[in-house]
Amino acid sequence: MAIFSNQATITYNGITTSSNVAYGEILDVLSATKTVVEAGYTPGSTVTYVVSLRNTGSVPLTGLIVTDDLGGYPFGTGTVYPLAYVAGSVQLFADGAPQPAPAVTVGPPLVFTGISVPADGDVVLVYQATVTDFANPAADGTIENTVTVTGDGLSAPITASATVGTTATPALSISKSISPGQVVDNDRVTYTFVIQNTGNTPVDATDDASITDVFDPILSALTVVFNGASWAAGTNYTYNGTTGEFTTLPGQITVPAATIAQDPTTGVYTLTPGVATLTVTGTI
């Protein structure tokens, strides 16, 4: 909606008199909404956006341009973009029927051109973007991006925005090593398990994380240490000396969240995994 006004004057015998100010408004016949399909994002994931255009007018709107800012935000002396368009992902529908894909300028900004909305009709634009290293991966991170619709049939640009937050979750990996690598009977060996969390939330006791292994050859006289603290059989873990099966009890494995930092020069976010270490030493 745009407000306009004007005022007239009358001049006679060197005298000028002004009229009242008359006001009017131009109603927008086009409306736009933008939604994101996914509930959240993680680094490198793909998000899907749906832009809906509704024309309530009696004539078609043709040659419209839809510009997406890809969530760009100022950083340093420039702008960084937490989203990057997935090439070839755009789909266009008019009143529910598939249409040829619009022309795309990848940018940033991302630009779709040549879009037409039928009279008293709807157009839906669907496309995907990849989450870049400029998106905040912390548990409270968000990406907000805005589309702007312009064209000759519009009195003013139309905008619509959508915000998506991070998926708050841990992401664990585990590696295992043995020392020494060469042993003889009755030697003591140590298995070291390194658990890394690249997620933005920690693993705590309520997550019931557990490690299971079957030692072959079977170990005896176990010594178990987690993050430097000694563990006791039956309290922190179970061990079957006949089968060699070792299992940590639920809730004993905890791993801190990854540490997140944004490079002050480039704006790129980096993750340093949270780490927990379990060692199991026994006699072969």
pLDDT digits (tens, 9 = 90+) for 65-91: 999 999 999 999 999 999 999 999 999
Q: How confident is the model at residue 153 (pLDDT cuts 50, 70, 90)?
A: confident
**pLDDT tens for residues 211-244?**
999 999 999 999 999 999 999 999 999 999 999 9
pLDDT at 122 over 90: yes
Tally of CB atoms within 10 A around 7: 9
Q: What's the angle, vertex CA 77, arms to CA 76 and CA 78, rounded to 5? A: 95
User: Residue 3 — pLDDT band, cuts 50, 70, 90?
Assistant: low
Tell me where in the chain the CATH 2.60.40.740 domain(s) lie. Answer: 26-165
Give me the pLDDT at residue 27, please: 47
Instruction: Give the pLDDT confidence score for residue 258 in this predicted structure.
Output: 97
For the segment 257-269, what is each residue's pLDDT rounded down to a tens digit?
A: 999 999 999 999 9
Task: Please answer whether residues 126 and 91 qualify as being in contact, where contact means their C-beta atoms are separated by less than 8 angstroms.
Answer: yes
Q: Give me the pLDDT at residue 24, please.
A: 47
Whether the Cβ atoms of residue 26 and residue 1 lie closer than 8 Å to each other: yes
Q: What are phi and psi of 81, to 5 degrees?
A: -125, 120
Least confident of 7-11, 22-26, 252-256, 272-276: 22-26
pLDDT of residue 145 exceeding 60: yes
Residue 23 has pLDDT above 70, yes or no: no
Rounded Cα gap, residues 127 and 65, in angstroms: 15
Answer with the residue of higher pLDDT: 1 or 184: 184
Band of residue 4 on the pLDDT scale cut at 50, 70, 90: low
114 pLDDT band, cuts 50/70/90, is: very high
Architecture of domain 26-165: Sandwich (2.60)
pLDDT at 274: 98
Whether the predicted pLDDT of 111 surpasses 90: yes
| E-state strands within 151-241 | 158-165, 172-179, 188-197, 212-214, 220-226, 229-231, 237-239
Is the pLDDT score of 10 beyond 80? yes
Distance (Å, rounded) from C-alpha 141 to C-alpha 73? 14
Give the largest Cα separation in the chain, rounded: 123
Indicate the DSSP class of residue 166. Answer: B
